[in-house]
Amino acid sequence: MKRLLYLFVILSFIAAGCSQKKGNNYIRASYKTDIHIVSGNDIHGAIENMPMLAAAVDSLRAIDKSLLVLSAGDNRTGNPLNDLYTIPAFPMVALMNYIGFDASTFGNHEFDSDQPLLSKLVTLSNFPYICANVFPDAELGIQNIPYKFFDVKGVKVCVLGVVQLGIQGTPDSNPDHLKGIRFEGVEETINKYLYLRDQCDVFILLSHIGYEDDCAMAEKFPQFDLIVGGHTHTQIEGGELHNGVLITQNVNKLQRVTHTILTVENGKVTGKRAENIEIASSKNKNPFVAQIVEKFSDNPELKRVLAVATAPFSTYEELGLLMCDALKEMTHSEIGFTNMGGVRYDTHPKGDFTVDDVLRLDPFGNGVVIMELTPKEIEDMLIACFYADRNRFPYTSGIKCDVEYTANAKNEPEKVVKLTLTTDDGKPLDPNKKYKVAGNAYAVTVSDSPREDEGREFGSISSDLLIKFLTEKKQINYSGRRCLTEHIVK
Amino acid sequence: MIVKVNNEEVRIFKGASVKHALLRYILRIKADVSNIEKLQVKDCKGHQIDQDAPLKEGDSITVKL
């Protein structure tokens, strides 16, 4: 009798737990269960919000310890405490490891790490990077995988990952960091992996392609149960159903994450719902994660000496010229320029120039824009910058500016009446030539003047270029250097 | 590239974010830029997006000033 009862229990378990056999020798789950997923996107180095995320994940794990935690990419870039750590972007990886992320896809900003660093970060991650349209050369050692199966309470969940490609056919990042990596189109890639649908109960696209393209993929590929999206920082209230596919995404820096519940019955998703969880404004923190964040915030890297100033800086212009030199040289341009308001202090003593000094001088995290401009377009842009920057003329490297103004009642510059540009050795610019000009993204944006080439993002922020510039120079002396001569005319 | 802010065309560099298009638009219409980071921006479908969100050619955003 006991033996019969035992046999009955075993048979019942098999019948209830994993019965129906389908294609590819895969056994579908045949009971009803809920799969819980927490997904974030475009975290952009917001380590300060990780204690609140950890608390939310802890609470959900208390309900369902099989919780899947996913990131739709762009985990780094946007916070110097993360991006300038001794191993850049490691704090976010360490915190994601501690929280127990199950997977991330690559966002375009993962490629802000150069190839050796990306390889290191992937190695240091306890979770896989799922990205099917990225093919790094073997010698780079970047170990991404195209998809992964997760066994969640006996339900087979397949996650396929993809990253955004811009018009060049590569993710929007520094082109130098993409060398040795091949990329394939998103749609073409998904088509290749559609067979996975028949090998799982739940098919998820972990996508860093943006909301619009997520919708397009949902229309083309109703095989997906869920698209966990990122890239466009789109706040979707809960989730949106497109062609039967649930799409989720949130604004950046962990303002919110999405908690998705998929009900799986007899190997099919029969229910989908999603809610947003407020993270950044939450008062609940995981105290241990808070301690780790505190540790990372006391970043010894900020004290690192980049170069030695052999003479003190004593004017905004000298420091502005340093910033412009970095823009020019590190982008291999002929001219660099920055708005005067972008230079945040006017003196620096003789001696060490540290990472912290750079971040105080250029704290805005501005991108860098490269343009090809005629001398007339350069003149117009610099004059537009003057008016947009409260009548303060921008600083330049590679050219010198001699500018005449009329004055207001306080004898301050009011209107530019004449601007003469010359090369560093005093020659006029060639009117038939287009010059390669690099400016910080803010200065370029506010300088709204007619030009054929609006430019393109270089793929680095200006403070990173200054850090690299100083590291290369080792010694600097800007004492007495000028790029700007100003006259008030009556 | 060209994007639209409140249905007006804005020419901006490739790779610009929402904040860049917004800044150029606000300067052009001579509105106040001092509280720009607090402005709520929506995409063409009416979703909230943050100002670091990337833009591509042809994107359209709206902002209430």
Q: Do B14 and A455 lie within an 8 Å CB cutoff?
A: yes
Residue of A nearest to B47 (CA): A235
- Domains of chain B with bracketed CATH: 2-63 (3.10.20.30)
Complete DSSP assignment for A382-441 = HHHHHHHTTS-PPEEESEEEEEEEEE-TTS-EEEEEEEEEEETTSPBP-TT-PEEEEEEH
Question: What's the pTM value of the predicted model, to 2 decimals?
Answer: 0.87
- Measured in angstroms, the CA of A313 and the nearest CA of chain B are apart by 30
- Domains of chain A with bracketed CATH: 20-297 (3.60.21.10), 304-488 (3.90.780.10)
- Measured in angstroms, the CA of A75 and the nearest CA of chain B are apart by 14
Write out chain A residues lying below 8 Å of B24, CB-based.
Answer: 445-446, 448
Residue type, A249: Q
How many CB atoms are closer than 10 A to CB A410? 6
Residue pair A120/A76 in contact by the 8 Å Cβ criterion:
no
> Which whole-number Å values give the CA distances from A479 to A310, A322, A351, in the listed order?
9, 11, 13
* Residue ranges in chain A whose pLDDT is less than 50: 1-2, 4-23
Give the three-state DSSP class for A100: coil
Write out chain B residues lying below 8 Å of A456, CB-based.
Answer: 13-15
Q: What is the CA radius of gyration of chain A?
A: 27
Q: Check residue A10 and give its pLDDT.
A: 42
Structure tokens, A403:
């500018």
- How many inter-chain contacts (A to B, CB under 8 Å) are there? 79
Q: CA dihedral in degrees (B7, B41, B15, A136; nearest 10)?
A: -130
A404 phi, psi to nearest 5 deg: -115, 135
| A453-466 pLDDT per residue, tens | 999 999 899 999 99
ipTM of this predicted structure: 0.96
Cα–Cα dist A252/A176, whole Å: 26
Residue of B nearest to A443 (CA): B20
Residue of B nearest to A108 (CA): B54
Of A42, A233, A454, the CB nearest to B11: A454
> Which whole-number Å values give the CA distances from A217 to A134, A161, A213, A240, A245, in the listed order?
18, 13, 6, 13, 9
H or E element in which residue A468 lies: helix A462-473
Residue type, A186: V
Name which of A333, A319, A340, A335 is nearest A466 in CA terms.
A319
A100 phi, psi to nearest 5 deg: 90, 45
Write out chain B residues lying below 8 Å of A459, CB-based.
Answer: 15
Partners of A39 in the β-ladder: A70, A258
Q: How buried is residue A400: exposed, middle or buried, by Cβ count under 10 Å (0-12/13-18/19+)? A: middle
Q: Check residue A29 and give its pLDDT.
A: 64
Of B13, B17, B43, the CB nearest to A444: B13
Q: Check residue A137 and give its pLDDT.
A: 98
- Measured in angstroms, the CA of A7 and the nearest CA of chain B are apart by 56
Structure tokens, A370:
């490269």
Q: Do A234 and B23 lie within an 8 Å CB cutoff?
A: no
Residue of A nearest to B56 (CA): A166
Cα–Cα dist B36/B22, whole Å: 8
Give the three-state DSSP class for B39: coil
